């Protein structure tokens, strides 16, 4: 029986590995290079050009913008991209290899935590959950794990912070600080780590509170360190008055989320989250309920002997709730599941691993036959649901998208030749969206057509030109300035 279980495990592990490879390969080489990736890429490109840590400012006035508040993907992602660009590697591959490395770190960290929580089966389920989560729908997606965005890197750093927390709290603090400098919204994970630190503190009552406070000081300093260094660089760049303006812009961006539009409701947000799995909504909800049943049941049957798992399940629950509750109650934020994605990628797989642990504990409760039956049914629901979601995501990823990186490059090639031949420094995107990435691929700086700084600048569009057509590649054309 043990040998049969082992064979089944390794067959499923191999299938999951193949699914991950399919998705990552599609993400790296097939999916189109889209506008948010392109705007993020302008930062390492400008850094290497000697323009400082600056974007092209397409959303900030369309001028070179140092420490652009609208670039929410931080230096923990963009500085390694700059290092790869410096080797002469293709810009898109250089941009995407860094998030892909973070994806591998995320999966490795989840495997370590899963094994620690509930052995190899819990590890397998934990590694499958990110693949079952789909973020490619909508107008602001995460197409795949290689997109040049900060959400997945932030999640990877948060997971590894949990891995090292019991033995090296200072390092966990540093990793959380780096996660904040991958994606600012990672700050929402702080309550999760506070809960974990408190549960790991020795003693009870006020003695435990005192130990928690003392053990939190050094990790908190390390949490702040990456942001302190980044903002110190901004202060040295801008001077005091400019730095104050930079902070005001950052606060305004955080408060608004950089978005406008119609207010959204909690029900809409929760529905969107439920729909963001490679499963029917009813199936996703059923898996979630089954997971909660297993965790509660496991804690109940192992009263007094579950302190280790309690740390992880408590931290994951608080972390997941913080991200989802913030997004759900922020009515000014649109229905983009990308916003809570760092918390989903980091904490939902840990909850799933804890569900497997709960099933194991419940199945060992031999005197409680009904508990064993519930565990068998609920664990079957979780494993089948997560496995089916991962498989369906892998199958969907193999379908050819409407625009691939290859066809995008082919369409941009004549535009790039014209830009280089005419020594064009800037192109204006008309409108924001599909025109942005082609401009970055030409090597020109990208601005937005209606910005005053773009007066007299040629425009790249996927529409018809209202002025003279300077070059036409089929999908895109460059028009003379109006």
Query: DSSP string covering 310-353, please?
Result: HHHHHHHHHHHHHHHHHHHH-TTS-S-TTTTHHHHHHHHHHHHH
Q: Do residues 380 and 156 make contact, with C-beta atoms less than 8 angstroms apart?
A: no
pTM: 0.95
Q: Do residues 458 and 480 make contact, with C-beta atoms less than 8 angstroms apart?
A: yes
Mean pLDDT by 10 residues, the chain (482 residues): 82 94 95 95 96 94 94 96 96 96 98 95 96 87 94 98 95 97 95 94 84 90 96 94 91 75 87 92 93 92 78 96 94 89 97 94 80 87 90 87 91 95 94 92 95 94 92 93 86
Structure token pair of residue 119: 């052995």
- State the Cα torsion 306-308-309-311 to the nearest 10°: 120
Structure token pair of residue 300: 């109940």
Find, among 115, 137, 109, 100, the residue nearest to 23 by Cα.
100
Residues 6+ apart with CB under 8 A from 320: 343, 344, 347, 348, 351
Apex 271 CA angle, 270 and 274, nearest 5: 85
Q: Do residues 171 and 218 make contact, with C-beta atoms less than 8 angstroms apart?
A: no
Query: DSSP string covering 419-437, please?
Result: HHHTT--EEEEESTTTTHH
Distance CA 472, CA 271 (A): 43
Q: Which residues of 317-355 are buried (b: 16+ CB within 10 A; e: fewer)?
A: bbbbbbbbeebbebeebbbbbbbbbbbbbbbbbbbbbbb
Residues 6+ apart with CB under 8 A from 251: none
Distances from the Cα of 396 to the Cα of 23, 134, 391, 401, angstroms: 9, 10, 9, 10
Distance CA 183, CA 347 (A): 16
Structure token pair of residue 140: 């602001």
Apex 71 CA angle, 66 and 72, nearest 5: 135
Q: Do residues 79 and 226 make contact, with C-beta atoms less than 8 angstroms apart?
A: no
Q: Do residues 445 and 42 make contact, with C-beta atoms less than 8 angstroms apart?
A: yes
Distance CA 258, CA 189 (A): 21
Distance CA 372, CA 237 (A): 63
Three-state DSSP class for residue 133: strand
- State the Cα torsion 226-231-233-237 to the nearest 10°: 170
Residues 6+ apart with CB under 8 A from 187: 180
Q: Do residues 158 and 179 make contact, with C-beta atoms less than 8 angstroms apart?
A: yes
Three-state DSSP class for residue 238: helix
Distance CA 125, CA 383 (A): 7
Query: DSSP string covering 169-225, please?
Result: HHHHHHHHHHHHTTBGGGGGGHHHHHHHHHHHSSSSHHHHHHHHHHHHHHHHHHHHH
Three-state DSSP class for residue 111: helix
DSSP 136: -
């Amino acid at each position: 029986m043990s040998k049969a279980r082992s064979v089944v495990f390794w067959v499923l592990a191999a299938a999951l590995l193949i699914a991950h490879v399919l998705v990552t390969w599609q993400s790296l080489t097939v999916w189109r290079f889209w506008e948010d990736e392109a705007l993020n890429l302008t930062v390492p490109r400008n850094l290497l050009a000697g323009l400082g840590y600056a974007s092209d400012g397409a959303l900030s006035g369309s001028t070179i913008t140092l420490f652009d508040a609208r670039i929410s993907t931080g230096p923990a992602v963009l500085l390694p991209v700059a290092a790869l660009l410096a080797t002469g590697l293709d810009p898109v591959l250089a941009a995407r290899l860094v998030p892909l490395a973070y994806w591998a770190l995320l999966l490795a960290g989840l495997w370590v935590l899963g094994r620690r929580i509930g052995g190899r089966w819990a590890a397998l389920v934990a590694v499958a959950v990110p693949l079952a989560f789909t973020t490619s729908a909508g107008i602001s997606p995460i197409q795949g794990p290689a997109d040049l965005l900060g959400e997945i890197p932030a999640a990877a750093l948060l997971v590894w912070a949990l891995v090292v927390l019991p033995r090296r709290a200072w390092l966990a603090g540093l990793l959380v600080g780096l996660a904040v400098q991958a994606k600012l919204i990672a700050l929402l994970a702080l309550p999760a780590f506070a809960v974990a630190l408190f549960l790991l503190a020795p003693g009870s009552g006020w003695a435990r509170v005192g130990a928690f406070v003392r053990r939190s000081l050094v990790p908190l300093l390390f949490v702040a360190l990456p942001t302190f260094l980044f903002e110190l660089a901004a202060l040295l760049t801008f001077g005091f008055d400019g730095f104050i303006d930079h902070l005001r812009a950052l606060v305004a961006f955080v408060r608004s989320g950089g978005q406008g539009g119609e207010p959204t409701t909690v029900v809409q947000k929760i529905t969107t989250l439920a729909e963001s799995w490679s499963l029917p909504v009813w199936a996703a909800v059923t898996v979630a309920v089954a997971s909660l049943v297993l965790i509660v049941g496991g804690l109940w049957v192992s009263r007094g002997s579950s302190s280790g798992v309690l740390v992880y399940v408590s931290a994951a629950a608080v972390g997941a709730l913080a991200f989802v509750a913030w997004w759900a109650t922020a009515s000014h934020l649109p229905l983009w599941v990308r916003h809570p994605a760092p918390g989903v990628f980091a904490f939902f797989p840990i909850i799933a691993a804890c569900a497997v642990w709960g099933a194991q504990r419940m199945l060992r409760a031999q005197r409680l036959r009904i508990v064993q039956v519930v565990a068998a049914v609920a664990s079957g629901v979780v494993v089948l649901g997560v496995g089916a979601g991962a498989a369906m995501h892998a199958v969907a990823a193999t379908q050819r998208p409407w625009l691939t990186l290859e066809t995008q490059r082919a369409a941009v090639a004549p535009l790039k030749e014209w830009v280089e031949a005419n020594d064009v420094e800037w192109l204006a995107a008309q409108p924001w969206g599909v025109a942005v990435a082609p401009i970055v691929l030409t090597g020109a700086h990208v601005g937005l057509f209606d910005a005053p700084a773009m007066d007299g600048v040629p425009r790249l569009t996927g529409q018809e030109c209202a002025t003279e057509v300077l070059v036409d590649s089929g999908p895109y054309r460059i028009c003379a300035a109006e």
